[in-house]
Amino acid sequence: MDQSIFLKWLGVAGIELKVNEHVLIIDPYFTRIPFFKIWFGKLKPDSKLIFEKIKYCDIVFITHSHIDHLMDVPDIIKYTGCKAYGSSNTCKLLSACGVPQELIFEIKVGDILNLGKFKLVILQANHRYIPGFSEGPLKYPLQPPFNARQYRMDTYFAFNILVNGVKFMTDPGINNLARNLKKTDVLFISASYIKEYYKLLLNKIHPKVLVPIHWDNFFSPLSKPVKPYFKTSSKTFPFLKRIDLNEFMKMIKKIDPKVEVIVPEIFHSYNIREIIKFI
């Protein structure tokens, strides 16, 4: 029996895991609303682009309900008939967008889900503070199309995913060293945290493979080359710096030389079992 596991980075925080014909997707976002539109007016997903990028899906998981994680999900469900899993806010927003209730499943921290080829444990994650996009309840009435701030986060999840004996973990978020973070094979993580946090985190979960995600400029359309976005404010000049992936790789290798860092090419399929085999 084929035990291959194919990994694909979809841009931003989007991840696809495929085992045979079974497909799980996390946080798909292709529409990439321009920065100025985040602050003004109602927003609509790019349905044509979404259908071009996602032809098939069984399950979609949403870490949290910000626009760059949730906005495109209703169209994906419409095209594929997949089931969606997320927080209370996520479920309410999906329902308001016309997603059938039988395809929406609310999850909570501590849940354990066995979904065919995929076993998931739902973990608490920590989101950095973003002015104007604070955590809280939804504002009613919920009538799409929404503006960006109506995609309001309540809970931010990380996921432990077991697939054919390989353990994956999505980004646990900023400064998160919770007890339930276990040893993993493949870690997906932001490339914009501080070095001290990476040291503590890698020492705790000892990944074999580290895949940086959410490093690209997600306000730039997919029709343009993928480029890094800016880090959070620096204490040294220049105070606003773009994420440097070469610098990130060198830093991770200094922390743990045994970790294989894969800077993913967008939409490229990687056989993760083959990569792990040679580590």
**Cα-based distances in Å from 242 to 70, 117, 191, 228:** 25, 38, 11, 6
Q: Is residue 272, in this structure, part of any structural domain at all?
A: yes
Is 225 within the bounds of a domain?
A: yes
- Structural domains of the chain, count: 1
Residue 3 pLDDT greater than 90, yes or no:
no
Q: What is the pLDDT of residue 152?
A: 94
Q: Is residue 47 part of a domain?
A: yes
What is the tens place of the pLDDT at every residue in 135-167?
Answer: 889 988 899 999 999 999 999 999 999 999 999
pLDDT in tens, 222-244: 999 999 998 765 555 556 788 99
Range of the domain at 267: 6-277
| Inside any domain, residue 1 | no
- Whether 265 maps to a domain, the answer reads yes
In the structure encoding, which two tokens stand for residue 92, read together?
């309410």
89/139 Cα distance (integer angstroms): 10
> Domain holding 226: CATH number?
3.60.15.10
pTM of model > 0.85: yes
Q: Is 13 a member of any domain?
A: yes
- Tell me the pLDDT tens digit for each residue of 18-76: 999 999 999 999 999 999 888 888 999 999 999 999 999 999 999 999 999 999 999 99
- Whether residue 178 is predicted with pLDDT greater than 70 in this model: the reply is yes
The answer to whether residue 46 sits within a structural domain is yes
3-state secondary structure of 114: strand
Q: Which pair of structure tokens corresponds to residue 228?
A: 């890094």
Give the model's pLDDT for residue 232: 64
CA-to-CA distance for 90 and 103, rounded, in angstroms?
Answer: 13
Is position 80 within any domain? yes
Strands, sheet with 112-115, edge to edge from the N-terminal-most edge strand: 112-115, 118-124, 157-163, 166-169, 186-190, 209-213, 260-261
